[in-house]
Structure 1
Amino acid sequence: MFTAGEIAERIRTGQTTSREVTEDLLRRIAADTEVNAVVEVRREHALAAAATADAQLAHAAHAAPAARTTPAAHTAGTAPAAPAARTTSTAPTAPTAGTMPTAGTVPTAGTVSAADTVSAADTVSAADTVSAADTVPTARTASTARTASTAHAVPGGRTVHGGPAVEGTRLGPLHGVPITVKDCFDVAGMHTTWGNPAFADFIADENAVIVQRLERAGAHVVGKTNVHTMLGDFGQTVNEVFGRTNNPADLTRTPGGSSGGAAAALAAGLTYLEYGSDLVGSIRLPAAYCGVYGLKPTNGLVPERGFQIPGTPYVPSELPRLSTIGPLARSAADLRIALRATAGPEAPYSYNLATPRHRNLKDYRVGIVTDHPAAPVTSDVGDALSDTVDRLAAAGVKIVDSWPSGVDPNEQAEEFGRQVELFFALHGGEPTTMTVDHLLTTERNRLAARAKWQRYFEDVDVFLCPTSFTVAFPHGSTTIEGRPYEAQVFWIAHASLTGHPALSMPIGRTATGLPTAAQVIGPWHEDDTAITFAELLAEHLGSR
């Protein structure tokens, strides 16, 4: 199956149409009775958006050179495509919008311009309401996925008729591409359940910032993917609203969590691009287990408005936020496209990713650790990593076989556990018993850990290690290969603690066809250095 970037190029060059691509994707989603990854679709909206994309492309072809491709930064563009409208009186009140993402400061590595304001058209989120007959099953198979109706209303009671104006429309890098997003992001007119029956009937009436930006880049959201209940598990995806998601490589095994639906949908060919969230590896672990790419960006790089518990207002916080949102894809290039479209502070700013340190694989200096007693890798994972390292060395890549100076991997993994406890206490979970002195010490430890890794990245460009010690394991496991379930966290903990960008990439398959993966950690706010290395490594390995 094509990547998002490849299908966008085929649409732009007239080899296919957005309508054809969208219809084909909807057919595949409807036919799935095994993976159960896409749990809600909005067919009529998707087809209308595809028709608008095709009309925009036809107009651009006749009006060239007036129409041009949107640049890498997510500058102001056109409003998302909309289907024929009908009003509704049952739309819920919109969550209060925040004014700035948690990490509100401008990243030093990127370029920010206050002059790039967002137009009024970009601030309106159209809401696709759901009909009263649209009920929520307690546990569904893919063939019974609920479908959003064609209603299309804007918060405040105003109705939008048709799609955006075709004339003068810029064609974004995802023009005409149908995508899905994790069922924790608000999409106007669709349910946001977080896999919790208490929110089974909640319908969002405003798009999350990342949805707005992906639509401005030309994509249209056709559906939402399954999550673990309240995003509460990094190793599996199951809930009482939509049931269990299975790994496409082996239906008896987990796709990981909590973005298991996102990763499984990509692996099964049920979407072209996804967006997930990562607190305790919830992007990287599912990506590893399903054999796709998943990026946890630099913490705070992507605005989180529209990613909050249903019905609660978005409240920006200056307190440390370990949770990060980022893309999942079938190629490293698609991660770059998605991150360029979504990264940076909210309006009136724009943002450009820092350029990668190198564009040739042999120029990279790669720190490598392939095993550790705290989470010894299985033979399948170890063999794949060893082969990857050998091939890097053969390509002339400089290998530095060590952890950063001064880093105690066990100590940092344990510190991450304390940070997660504090995170939940600060965001409505169980109150912490930590004293003020303990809280201050914890914060100093987090920042000290980041500084140690940053010093390391003065001499090394990326760090390569396992994403998990294991491949995907059977559903319902409480131990894995005789080790504690929580051992999955060890390898993802270090980038989560420090906030550095980290991605998981596929590096092979076991003899039984299960994906193996590596994790690439990059310097602070140099996300594209990690992405570009993964892209070059995949090319060298003979994959995407």
Structure 2
Amino acid sequence: MTELYTLTATELASLYRSKQVSPVEVTKSIFQRIGIADQRVNAYITTTPDAALKKAQFVEDDMMRGIYKSPLQGIPIGIKDNYYTAGVRTTAGSKILSDFIPDTTATSVKKLECAGGITLGKLNMHEFGGGLTNTNPFHGRTNNPWNTKYIPGGSSGGSAVALAAGLATLTTGTDTFGSIRTPAAMCGVYGLKPTYGLVSSKGVAPLAWSLDHAGPMARSVSDLALMLQEMAGYDPEDPASIKAPIPDYTENLTKGMKGVKIGVPRFFMEGLDHDIELLFTNALKKLEELGAEVKEITISELSMAEFAGHVITTGEASTFHYEWLQSRLQDYAEDVRIYFQSGLVLNTPQYVRAQQARRKLTTAFKKAIEDVDVLVGPTVPITTPPFQENWVEQNLEITKRCMPFTAPATLTGTPSLSVPMGLDSNRLPAGMQLIGNHLAEKLLLQVGKAWESTNPLG
């Protein structure tokens, strides 16, 4: 018998309509799973079982009366702990906000709840989004469910782990320099960083305003499409929100990728760990077998990504955290403190030059995408590493290694979808990212769905 906590939202929506299972049953199943497994992986900072079961009963009563709001109705969702949730503690993974209870709810969470989603609680994360390991000295480190001695990636580590361990059906994440895609890759799930401004960041604790993206994470591409359908849309209260038509993201998902032109930037083929290189080479062959036209291309401006990403992220983060960095410096985790403090010593010319490099990179991306439909590369160039005692140095080193691969899509504001690519020699997942033109989410999901059919994790 298939356990309810392992089912995707797409599968549950069908079962709900045929009245084979109920939202209350599913929600209870997931909380039972949390009770058993979360002590091993530490995905949650706060759970809200009473409120979740009350909402599940309300949704179930609606369904019994034939009221169906959306395919997300009755679907249990875990929320990253930097999304504000009214009346529920929101820590952003920090000591500073350990007792913060907001009186408002993030726009995208409201949308998911209005669609009938059931929020389960708040998920662990790298403090304030400032790292890629999810080692958190205040709320405990989050462990990779494939092997708990290994990191899950961050900063949305709790979100990816909850999916991989069956502790949520869907989760939300945020991505400033790779924080959705890195943990998705390392935990073998799917994560979408949408076009900048497509999903509202209103009510999400910022890391770097001009780079922050909110987005969906799931165990299938179909589920990402269902989530994005509800999360996307203009928000007048978010200065970065864009007015753009919202297509039906579930339409043509199974169209395949025959004739899709895929460009492989040579930059994304350099400096790869051996296992990643092998998996990516094999993935490119599979993409061709699926009907895609694959060719290598050159985008020399990608070399600017690490400089621009570091300067803009730390500069903007240190601005937001300026007062706390003066008054509560010792309340930051050491790795995040170092990272944010580095932004304090930047000067205006460095920040302006980083923004100029960003503009050059965006222009180069626009030009490259004229000749291809999608860009592809490994999500990150490294295999998932084990936790190290020198966790401060480890986070800084991993961030330095991964940022050149993940930062380009955030700097350019283009959508990027991380899909499982396969298992490395340690039997841990690795990821491949698909990058499209602005507002090309529908195409990325279509290509991702075709790739998912290859069952990359076996």
Q: What TM-score comes out, normalization by structure 2 length?
A: 0.85
Matched, 1:248 2:111: no
Matched, 1:410 2:303: yes
Give 2:379's aligned residue: 467
Q: CA deviation at 1:17?
A: 0.3
Secondary structure of 2:297 counterpart: coil
1:36–1:245 contact (8 Å) kept in structure 2:
yes
Any residues of structure 2 matched to 1:386-401 within 5 Å, and which? 386-401=281-296
Give 1:211's aligned residue: 109
Task: Quote the Cα distance in structure 1 between the aligned partners of 2:216 and 2:298.
Answer: 27
2:261–2:374 contact (8 Å) kept in structure 1:
yes
The superposition leaves residues 205-257 of structure 1 with CA deviations (integer Å, 9 ceiling, x where unpaired) of 221111100012221101111012222212233131x2111000110010111
Task: Quote the Cα distance in structure 2 between the aligned partners of 1:425 and 1:41.
Answer: 30
1:179–1:271 contact (8 Å) kept in structure 2:
yes
Give 1:353's aligned residue: 247
The superposition leaves residues 493-537 of structure 1 with CA deviations (integer Å, 9 ceiling, x where unpaired) of 211211111121102112432002101111112122112211111
Seen in structure 2, the aligned counterparts of structure 1 residues 514 and 296 have a Cα distance that, compared at 3 Å, is same
Secondary structure of 1:463 counterpart: strand
Any residues of structure 2 matched to 1:528-543 within 5 Å, and which? 528-541=442-455
Secondary structure of 1:380 counterpart: helix
Secondary structure of 1:197 counterpart: coil
Give 1:138's aligned residue: none
Seen in structure 2, the aligned counterparts of structure 1 residues 199 and 416 have a Cα distance that, compared at 3 Å, is closer
Percent of aligned pairs with the same amino acid: 31
2:305–2:403 contact (8 Å) kept in structure 1:
no
Matched, 1:300 2:193: no
Seen in structure 2, the aligned counterparts of structure 1 residues 380 and 462 have a Cα distance that, compared at 3 Å, is same
Give 2:171's aligned residue: 274
Please tell me the residue identity of whatever aligns with 1:200.
S
Q: CA deviation at 1:444?
A: 3.3
Give 1:104's aligned residue: none
Q: CA deviation at 1:459?
A: 1.8
CA RMSD of the aligned region, Å? 2.6
Query: Which shows bigger deviation, 288-297 or 352-361?
Result: 352-361
Matched, 1:368 2:368: no
Task: Quote the Cα distance in structure 2 between the aligned partners of 1:484 and 1:178.
Answer: 32
More helix per residue: 1 or 2?
A: 2
The superposition leaves residues 434-487 of structure 1 with CA deviations (integer Å, 9 ceiling, x where unpaired) of 346x5544433322321221122122111110111112111136677xx76521
2:131–2:399 contact (8 Å) kept in structure 1:
no
Selected match of 1:381 from 270, 276, 283: 276
The superposition leaves residues 113-132 of structure 1 with CA deviations (integer Å, 9 ceiling, x where unpaired) of xxxxxxxxxxxxxxxxxxxx
Q: Could you list the runs of 5+ residues in structure 1 that have no partner in the other structure?
A: 61-66, 68-169, 311-318
Task: Quote the Cα distance in structure 2 between the aligned partners of 1:303 and 1:191.
Answer: 21
Matched, 1:19 2:24: yes
1:370–1:385 contact (8 Å) kept in structure 2:
no
Q: CA deviation at 1:198?
A: 2.6
Secondary structure of 2:262 counterpart: strand
Secondary structure of 1:470 counterpart: coil
The superposition leaves residues 18-41 of structure 1 with CA deviations (integer Å, 9 ceiling, x where unpaired) of 010000001000112211102211
Any residues of structure 2 matched to 1:122-201 within 5 Å, and which? 170-201=68-99
1:367–1:403 contact (8 Å) kept in structure 2:
no
Task: Quote the Cα distance in structure 2 between the aligned partners of 1:194 and 1:542.
Answer: 32
Task: Quote the Cα distance in structure 2 between the aligned partners of 1:196 and 1:521.
Answer: 31
2:27–2:56 contact (8 Å) kept in structure 1:
yes
Task: Quote the Cα distance in structure 1 between the aligned partners of 2:379 and 2:314.
Answer: 22
Matched, 1:434 2:347: yes
The superposition leaves residues 86-133 of structure 1 with CA deviations (integer Å, 9 ceiling, x where unpaired) of xxxxxxxxxxxxxxxxxxxxxxxxxxxxxxxxxxxxxxxxxxxxxxxx
Seen in structure 2, the aligned counterparts of structure 1 residues 459 and 541 have a Cα distance that, compared at 3 Å, is farther
Seen in structure 2, the aligned counterparts of structure 1 residues 180 and 372 have a Cα distance that, compared at 3 Å, is closer
Number of residue-to-residue matches in the alignment? 421
Task: Quote the Cα distance in structure 2 between the aligned partners of 1:301 and 1:403.
Answer: 28
Secondary structure of 1:239 counterpart: coil
2:74–2:118 contact (8 Å) kept in structure 1:
yes
Please tell me the residue identity of whatever aligns with 1:336.
A
Secondary structure of 2:381 counterpart: coil
Secondary structure of 1:53 counterpart: helix
Matched, 1:506 2:400: no
Q: Could you list the runs of 5+ residues in structure 2 that have no partner in the other structure?
A: 1-5, 238-242, 323-342
Task: Quote the Cα distance in structure 2 between the aligned partners of 1:226 and 1:346.
Answer: 26
The superposition leaves residues 247-293 of structure 1 with CA deviations (integer Å, 9 ceiling, x where unpaired) of 00110010111111111111101000111111121111111111111
Please tell me the residue identity of whatever aligns with 2:311.
R
Instruction: Kindly name which structure, 1 or 2, has the bigger radius of gyration based on alpha carbons.
Output: 1
Please tell me the residue identity of whatever aligns with 2:278.
D
1:172–1:216 contact (8 Å) kept in structure 2:
no
Q: CA deviation at 1:47?
A: 1.0
Q: CA deviation at 1:329?
A: 0.7
Seen in structure 2, the aligned counterparts of structure 1 residues 371 and 410 have a Cα distance that, compared at 3 Å, is closer
Q: CA deviation at 1:197?
A: 2.2
Task: Quote the Cα distance in structure 1 between the aligned partners of 2:282 and 2:196.
Answer: 31
Selected match of 2:43 from 37, 43, 46: 37
Seen in structure 2, the aligned counterparts of structure 1 residues 422 and 43 have a Cα distance that, compared at 3 Å, is same
Give 2:212's aligned residue: 323
Q: CA deviation at 1:425?
A: 4.5
Give 1:128's aligned residue: none
Selected match of 2:402 from 473, 488, 501: 488
1:39–1:226 contact (8 Å) kept in structure 2:
yes
Task: Quote the Cα distance in structure 2 between the aligned partners of 1:221 and 1:428.
Answer: 29
Secondary structure of 2:26 counterpart: helix
Matched, 1:342 2:239: no
Q: What TM-score comes out, normalization by structure 1 length?
A: 0.72
Give 1:154's aligned residue: none
Secondary structure of 2:103 counterpart: coil
Selected match of 1:259 from 140, 143, 156: 156
Q: CA deviation at 1:541?
A: 4.5
Matched, 1:332 2:221: yes
